[in-house]
Amino acid sequence: MSQEVIDQIAAYLTSNIPIVPISQGAEAVVFTTNVHPYEPINAKTSPNDQSTKTKYVIKYRPHKKYRHPSIDRALTKHRTLGESKILAKLSQLPGLHVPKLIATDVYNGCIWIEFLGEDLPDSFGFSNLKNYLWMHASDPYCDDVKKTLIKVGHQIGLLHWNDYCHGDLTTSNVVLHQDNGHWEPYLIDFGLGSTSTLVEDKGVDLYVLERAIISTHSRFAAKYNEWIMQGFRSVYEDEGKKGQQKMKDILKRFEEVRLRGRKRSMLG
């Protein structure tokens, strides 16, 4: 991550908000901080606040020097607004697990989001699906993994049933969060998300996740993808005949996309 970008956001956030960079994608840089953007400090000391202070995620779209300023401004505003709207709308859908949107600055391309997940035991790293599955590599088909993957599929089913698409559904964009004792999967990073009724976009979503699972956990991928699809189908099966028909269309297109080897999902 170039220092210039870090200086840019540090100046924007001012020194009152210390930040820790955690990742740089093509378009946005992600930081964490434990300073809330606007709430008075004393308000948020909820009783069971463990030693770690609550953390917040800051997703920042830095200015791209290669782009003409007017294109850069318009794009940053359009995309920051788009991602915020999706997050806000998705958090209102019952049963769909997405992080809460806290604040948005469309003029500077900055979004504040609830921090989810934690570090897995024995330094397996952050609790995204990729590391979670690596953690269970010694007992790959245990009940916990099966339950979690079915829930992951269920979340994607809910997303698609409500005609939203993720756009970049990799195993690092599914985060596991401890909800009273067991892991609940949350979908994060809707930077490429969109509302879409197209079976093509849904098929590609599923294909990207399948390729991600194959490329990082190839030996157990078949069973893992099967459990995810089981969870996915359960959403549509609960929606009667209309659900069955829609599911059939999506699964058919998913098959076609797989055959076409939709190149965009060629994960390294």
- Which positions from 185 to 224 touch other proteins by CB under 8 A, shown as an x/- string? -------x--------------------------------
Is residue 14 left, alpha or beta, with left meaning phi > 0 and alpha meaning psi from -120 to 50?
left
Tokens matching residue 120: 């897995």
- Active-site residue among 119, 139, 168, 179? 168
Within 10 angstroms of residue 117's Cβ, the number of other Cβ atoms is: 20
- Report the DSSP pairing between strands 101-105 and 110-114: antiparallel
Asked if 38 touches other proteins (CB under 8 A), the answer is yes
Residue with tokens 């960079």: 21
Please choose, out of 18-26, 155-163, 217-225, 227-235, the segment that lies near other proteins by the rule CB under 8 A.
18-26
Asked if 92 touches other proteins (CB under 8 A), the answer is no
What is the per-residue DSSP string for 56-110?
EEEEE----TTS-HHHHHHHHHHHHHHHHHHHHHHHTSTT---PPEEEEETTTTE
Measured from the CB atom, is 12 or 126 closer to other proteins? 12
Catalytic residue at 168? yes
Of the residues 7, 20, 25, 219, which one makes contact with other proteins according to CB under 8 A? 25
How far apart CA 154 and CA 185 sit, in angstroms, is 10
At closest approach, how far in Å is the CB of 266 from other proteins? Answer: 4
> What residue ranges bind other proteins (CB under 8 A)?
2, 4-5, 12-14, 16-17, 24-27, 35, 37-40, 43, 64-71, 74-75, 103, 105, 107-108, 167-168, 192, 261, 263-264, 266-268
Q: Indicate which residues carry an active-site annotation.
A: 168
